[in-house]
């Protein structure tokens, strides 16, 4: 089942998600657009460089765990894609949710990344890894 976690709190892996795991928390396909793999690194560099202060919620959807909220109410520090290691890293500033420092959620071997940024205020990313686990990152502007 996947490699052990590469970085601290928040790394999740799991087997392919079934219909139950995908139903709750998933962003709507008609509103989301897929980001081409060749654009991931530049997209997230641009996004992180120009981002306002966002409050983040990270949800994990997998067949083994079901739907689970991993973090809520923390500030997004950055989101990056490392092409060499084939990982997406979501950095969260522990200013809320009882977290004292920045934590990272690592998604290994992502297969698909979709974004819904058309809803006015909230932005949602859905990242599917090679094992079928979905990570949904929801962002709302702070203040």
* pLDDT number for residue 22: 33
Strands 110-116 and 54-62: unpaired
* pLDDT number for residue 121: 75
3 state SS for 7-46: CCCCCCCCCCCCHHHHHCCCCCCCCCEECCHHHHHHHHHH
**What is the spatial distance between Cα 82 and Cα 102, in angstroms, rounded to a whole number?**
19
List the 87-93 sheet strands across, edge first: 33-34, 110-116, 123-129, 134-141, 54-62, 66-82, 87-93, 103-108
**What is the spatial distance between Cα 134 and Cα 143, in angstroms, rounded to a whole number?**
28
Give tens-digit pLDDT for 70-124: 889 899 999 999 999 999 999 998 655 555 567 899 999 999 999 998 767 789 9
Residue 44 has pLDDT above 90, yes or no: yes
Give the mean model confidence (pLDDT) for residues 40-51. 92
Residue 136 vs residue 27, higher pLDDT: 136
Per-domain residue ranges of the chain: 19-141
**What is the spatial distance between Cα 120 and Cα 76, in angstroms, rounded to a whole number?**
18
Give tens-digit pLDDT for 63-74: 877 899 988 989
The CATH architecture assigned to 19-141 reads: Roll (2.30)
- At 21, the pLDDT band (50, 70, 90 cuts) reads very low
- Residue spans of alpha helices (H) in 65-141: none
Residue 8 has pLDDT above 70, yes or no: no
Enter the tokens of residue 133.
Answer: 């686990």
């Amino acid at each position: 089942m996947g490699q052990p976690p590469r970085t601290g709190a928040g790394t999740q892996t799991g087997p392919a998600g079934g219909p139950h795991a995908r139903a709750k928390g998933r962003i709507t396909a008609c509103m989301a657009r897929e980001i081409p793999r060749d654009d991931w690194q530049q997209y997230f560099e641009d996004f992180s460089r120009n981002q306002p202060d966002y409050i983040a919620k990270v949800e994990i959807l997998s067949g083994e765990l079901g739907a689970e909220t991993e973090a809520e109410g923390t500030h997004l520090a950055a989101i990056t894609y490392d092409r060499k290691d084939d990982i997406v890293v979501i950095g969260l500033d522990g200013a809320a949710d009882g977290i004292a420092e920045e934590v990272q959620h690592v998604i290994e071997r992502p297969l698909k990344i979709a974004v819904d940024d058309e809803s006015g205020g909230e932005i949602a990313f859905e990242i599917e890894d090679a094992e079928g686990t979905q990570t949904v990152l929801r962002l709302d502007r702070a203040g």
